[in-house]
């Protein structure tokens, strides 16, 4: 594979879901390119091991970590505070963490797990860190979507699939939410110097389907036959995080390091604005207190 032209040396890049799969491959490449990489994981021992591994591979100590379970909005808020306390600025925010769950699960905030992790966590983290991003010229937000978004539409009457839960359609729906959020964020950030783009990493051999009961075997088989390595999936993430060629480029959807068209539904600005308002309501701390009290 050809090398990615990079201008990320010395810049601070935060990567969620960075202890395995595409997130780990992304963190590894950014560290190798000289970035100060902040690894976000859930498990302390696993996260510490990844930090040690990346430091050894990159040949420098500019790899650090923060812990957060992104299904908890309180932990996302704590993560944002820790970023602000420890880093005066942030050059790149990569919202990579995500998953697919075979059975409906509810978070501590009363949110369906797929919506909570795949959409609301990136939404909340990015909006909380906007001032930290705006402290740097040409800061970048990179959100991981999927080609699966093309099979989805947004149904505001039942975002949580309370009536009948289907794992893959809900996953597709949340990846459409990621695109709608990314495009709306890019519009709201126009003129600030901060860019927001989304990426389709393609079919990749990862453990994203580990919570998908017996159907995980189908996912893993298809990924093994059709998919690429985590490094191949990470290339577009690394490109959007580091390439000079995309400085100032915002509100785009990338695959294989090139901008491509997303689904017609993803460009609906009325839906995007409504989703933004609904997401604000769903991440309101007052609401979380009501749900958990």
Residue 286 has pLDDT above 90, yes or no: no
Task: Over range 64-87, report the average pLDDT.
Answer: 98
Domain 12-227+234-292 of CATH type 3.40.50.720: yes
| Confidence at residue 203, expressed as pLDDT on a 0 to 100 scale | 66
Q: What percent of the chain has pLDDT over 90?
A: 83
Determine the Cα–Cα distance for residues 237 and 199; give it in Å rounded to an integer.
7
239 counts as catalytic? no
Neighbouring C-alpha atoms within 13 Å toward the C-beta of 270: 2
Taking only the tens place, the pLDDT of each residue in 220-229 is: 545 444 556 7
Lowest mean pLDDT among 37-46, 204-213, 259-268, 281-290: 204-213
- Choose between 211 and 251: higher pLDDT: 251
- Angle, CA 54 vertex, CA 127 and CA 75 arms, to 5°: 30
Residue 17 has pLDDT above 70, yes or no: yes
- Choose between 286 and 21: higher pLDDT: 21
| Confidence at residue 293, expressed as pLDDT on a 0 to 100 scale | 47
Task: Over range 273-280, report the average pLDDT.
Answer: 98
Lowest mean pLDDT among 157-166, 179-188, 212-221: 212-221
| Confidence at residue 233, expressed as pLDDT on a 0 to 100 scale | 87
Choice among 87, 89, 168, 171 that is catalytic:
171
- Report the Cα 103 to chain-centroid distance in Å: 22
Residue 219 has pLDDT above 60, yes or no: no
| Domain boundaries of the chain, sorted by first residue | 12-227+234-292
| Confidence at residue 202, expressed as pLDDT on a 0 to 100 scale | 83
Q: Are strands 253-255 and 258-260 parallel, antiparallel or unpaired?
A: antiparallel
CB atoms within 10 A of CB 228: 15
Q: State the chain's mean pLDDT as an integer.
A: 91
Report whether 114 contacts 174 (CB < 8 A): yes
Which tokens is 247 given?
């400085």
Task: Over range 173-190, report the average pLDDT.
Answer: 98
Report whether 141 contacts 185 (CB < 8 A): yes
Q: Which H or E element spans position 232?
A: helix 230-242
Residue 37 has pLDDT above 80, yes or no: yes
Residue 209 has pLDDT above 70, yes or no: no
Task: Report DSSP letters for 179-226, one per residue.
Answer: HHHHHHHHHHTTTSS-EEEEE---SB--STTTTSGGGHHHHHHHHHHH
């Amino acid at each position: 594979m050809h090398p990615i032209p990079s201008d990320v040396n010395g810049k601070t890049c935060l990567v969620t879901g960075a202890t395995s799969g595409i997130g780990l491959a992304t963190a590894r490449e950014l560290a190798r390119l000289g970035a100060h990489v902040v690894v976000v994981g859930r498990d302390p021992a696993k996260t510490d091991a990844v930090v040690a591994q990346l430091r050894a591979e990159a040949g420098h100590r500019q790899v650090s970590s923060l812990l957060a379970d992104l299904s908890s909005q309180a932990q996302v808020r704590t993560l944002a505070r820790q970023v602000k306390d420890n880093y005066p600025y942030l050059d790149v925010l990569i919202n990579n963490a995500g998953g697919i769950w075979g059975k409906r699960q509810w978070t501590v905030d009363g949110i369906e797990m797929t919506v909570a992790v795949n959409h609301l966590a990136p939404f909340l983290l990015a909006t909380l860190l906007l001032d930290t991003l705006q402290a740097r010229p040409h800061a970048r937000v990179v959100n991981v979507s999927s080609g699966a978004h093309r099979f989805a539409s947004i149904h505001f009457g039942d975002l949580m699939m309370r009536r009948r839960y289907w794992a893959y359609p809900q996953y597709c729906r949340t990846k459409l939410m990621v695109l709608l959020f990314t495009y709306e964020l890019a519009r709201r950030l126009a003129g600030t110097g901060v860019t927001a783009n989304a990426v389709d990493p393609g079919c990749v051999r990862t453990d994203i389907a580990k919570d998908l009961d017996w159907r995980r075997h189908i996912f893993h088989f298809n990924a093994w036959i059709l998919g690429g390595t985590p490094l191949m999936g990470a290339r577009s993430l690394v490109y959007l995080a580091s390439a000079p060629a995309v400085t100032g480029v915002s509100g785009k959807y990338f695959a294989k390091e090139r901008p491509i068209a997303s689904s017609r539904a993803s460009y609906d600005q009325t839906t995007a604005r409504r989703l933004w308002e609904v997401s604000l309501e769903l991440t309101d701390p007052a609401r979380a207190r009501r749900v958990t009290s």
